[in-house]
Structure 1
Amino acid sequence: MVSIILAESALELVPSELKHHPSVISHARKLGKYSSEILLDNSWHFAAMKGITNELKRGRPDLVHFSILEATTIPLYLKNKIKLYIHTIDDKVIYFGQNVHVPKSYHRFAGLIEKLYKEKKITSNENTLLEIKDKTFSELIDEINPSKVIGFSTKGTQNSYEKIAGDIIDDYCLVFGGFQKGHFSDSIEKQFTQMYSVGDESFEGHTVVARMLYEYEKTIFM
């Protein structure tokens, strides 16, 4: 089974240093929650986020949602040929149970992730659907123990989706950025066996996920 990781994903609760900002408090009140219980979202918390560490890589849970949908609504996932992990910017890892589907509505998705952060595990009929743990990227790689880790970045060696897909074998790990702008941290990059660029332009992460998985899917089912 090929492992898929969205690394340094912009999916986190409002950090403690921002929870008293007026924009955060106002948004939390609308949701009927404490400011420490809601996702950091640049759409609502732009003023609060100005100048924070890694500002351009944070506060875009909607983009993470897009990538998750691209990875979990395809035959590869439905036939258990891939396993998805979400590594967050604040070093947590979200695990998916078998054939778990997140809500297509962003608002319901945000509510689900906020509940997950609070309860640590989402279950149904005694089956674990989602679970979140404190874990670094390197610890996750050690746990998966793939034979090769392939990262996708504009800093990588130029290659095509088709060529990369043709070389993938069952215990590889593919790593995509779960953030809007910027590059992987050095601590992430050093875990890569190989890093590829798949175009002359910078594409949004969910686009790269969709195209790469489609090409790999063709090698499996076509």
Structure 2
Amino acid sequence: MLHLIIADSELELVPKSIAEHPAVVNYARRRGKKPEEVILDSTYHHSVLRKLEDGERRGRPDIVHLCLLNALESIANKEGLLRVYVHTRNDEVIYIKPETRLPRNYNRFLGLMESLFKKRAVPENLELLRIEEKTLEELVREINPDGVFVMHEGGELMKPRDFGKVLAELSDPVVIVGGFPHGDFRSKIEGRKISLYREPLMAWTVVNEVIVAFEFSML
């Protein structure tokens, strides 16, 4: 079983410190919601992000959306060989059942995430997605893997097919992919750093390469 964690993801509700900013208030009004109930998104809130710490990397739920679409629609997931988690910058973990089918439409995805942060599980009767307060370190310890790999542009360069073979030799490996646009991980992570290409890759590309390489060695 491959455990994939999208870590330090820039997925969060609008912080209280900027909830009264006109850009946030107007966006929330158009959505029919309170400012503190909407997801922070650089597309709509770029004018206020500079007021936040790490503002240049925050408000990127689109990265999570694309990573999850790639992962959940993969052959590995359909074959029961994959578990996917999202860890956020605020140390929350989203658990995602393999049978979950996320909205392809980005705005519908935002609405789903807003419901999840409010209700803590959606749909409430099935809990296809649920969220808990938990650090990345706690999540890894809970999974109890027999190998931890951190995808990092400064890591050991390895061809995807060779990395897939390494993963296939383990029972419960964890692969950690950053859910942020640039910079480094904020969380402390212990694991073998791996790079699949000589240049930086988008998070969703890394997710796809890792899963396909794993599938090639397992199926």
* TM-score interval for Structure 1 and Structure 2 normalised by the shorter chain: over 0.9
- The alpha-carbon deviation at position 127 of structure 1 amounts to 2.4
Could you report, residue by residue, the CA deviation over 1:129-165 in whole angstroms, capped at 9, with x for unpaired residues? 1100111111111111111110001121111111111
Q: State whether residues 92 and 133 of structure 1, in contact with CA within 8 Å, keep that contact through their aligned partners in structure 2.
A: yes
Please name the residue that 1:176 is paired with: 177
Give the alignment of 1:87-166 within 5 angstroms.
Answer: 87-123=87-123, 126-166=125-165
Please name the residue that 2:204 is paired with: 206
Q: State whether residues 56 and 182 of structure 1, in contact with CA within 8 Å, keep that contact through their aligned partners in structure 2.
A: no
TM-score normalized by structure 1? 0.94
**How high is the sequence identity, in percent, across the aligned residues?**
33
Partner Cα separation in structure 2 for residue 57 and residue 160 of structure 1: 28
Amino acid at match of 1:199: Y
Q: State whether residues 58 and 89 of structure 1, in contact with CA within 8 Å, keep that contact through their aligned partners in structure 2.
A: no
Could you report, residue by residue, the CA deviation over 1:77-117 in whole angstroms, capped at 9, with x for unpaired residues? 01110100000111100001231111111111100000000
CA separation of 1:56 and 1:188: change in aligned 2, threshold 3 A? farther
**Structure 1 segments unaligned to the other structure (5+ residues):** none
* Ranges of 4+ aligned residues in structure 1 off by more than 3 Å: none
**Structure 2 segments unaligned to the other structure (5+ residues):** none
Partner Cα separation in structure 2 for residue 138 and residue 98 of structure 1: 22
SS in 1 for 2:188: helix
Count of matched residue pairs: 217
Please name the residue that 2:62 is paired with: 62
Could you report, residue by residue, the CA deviation over 1:186-212 in whole angstroms, capped at 9, with x for unpaired residues? x333x22x0011112111100111111
Partner Cα separation in structure 1 for residue 181 and residue 209 of structure 2: 18
SS in 2 for 1:179: coil
Partner Cα separation in structure 2 for residue 54 and residue 156 of structure 1: 24
Question: Over aligned residues, Cα RMSD in angstroms?
Answer: 1.2
- The alpha-carbon deviation at position 57 of structure 1 amounts to 2.7
Could you report, residue by residue, the CA deviation over 1:19-70 in whole angstroms, capped at 9, with x for unpaired residues? 1111111110110100100000000111110142222331110111000001
